[in-house]
Amino acid sequence: MGKNVLILKGSPREWGNSSVLADQVAAGAKFSGAKVESIYLHSLDIRACDACDLCERGSGCVIKDDMQDLYPKLEAADAIVLASPVYWFTFSAQMKLCVDRWYAYQSSGWKELQDKQFALVLTYGDTDLYTSGGINAISTFETMCRFLNAEIIGMVYGTMSDVGDAERQPELMEQAYQLGRELGAS
Ligand SMILES: Cc1cc2nc3c(=O)[nH]c(=O)nc-3n(C[C@H](O)[C@H](O)[C@H](O)COP(=O)(O)O)c2cc1C
């Protein structure tokens, strides 16, 4: 059986740069035999974690919104890809809202998310990883993966602004495709 890869897209621009690179990851993973699903977070109703801590009881998150459909997909995934633009020197709000809601797994010690593989796609307008704040998103991602005992398969990131910029960077497109191939391989 092929691997199950879940891609979370955090940009409001459905055809934007991080999305295009995420699609390259998806294509590579499919080539390797994986089953891939991409989720456009901006289209979903995902409310902020309200820290009610009712998830401590072990029956999940009580907020009835689109995260309820996403939780089983997260649990079933062998690999999860976060694809986000850098907004104000870190992940986009859409991505952060989703990731905050993973707090619902606290009663099990985050067992549902542990030992998975992760990968990151990050795009930013500034010239490099540091001035853009991309480094902050990477630091968050690495810390999160360490916490979840998750293996990082790879990261693809680069400078781009307008829709269409990603396609003008064939090396980065290829890097994203190869990351997908690696992710999809058993
Ligand atoms: C609200 C907003 C905040 C942004 N903040 C940053 C930032 O802090 N650093 C940066 O380098 N680029 C920033 N950008 C530029 C985007 O990261 C860049 O255009 C990126 O390629 C967009 O990815 P997308 O096409 O996937 O939406 C910002 C753009 C927007 C709309």
CATH number at residue 85: 3.40.50.360
> What spacing in Å lies between the alpha carbon of 86 and ligand 1's midpoint?
5
What's the domain range around 136?
A: 4-184
User: Which residues of the chain have a pLDDT value below 50?
Assistant: none
Burial of 142 (0-12, 13-18, 19+ CB in 10 A): middle
What pLDDT, on the 0 to 100 scale, is given for residue 90?
98
The answer to pTM > 0.95 is: yes
- Say how many Å lie between the CA of residue 154 and the centre of ligand 1: 21
Q: Which pLDDT score, from 0 to 100, does residue 171 have? A: 98
Q: What are the CA-CA distances from residue 81 to residues 8, 10, 58, 59, 99 (Å)?
A: 6, 11, 26, 26, 12
What's the confidence (pLDDT) of residue 1? 72
Using a 6 Å cutoff on CB, does residue 132 contact ligand 1? yes
How many domains, the chain? 1
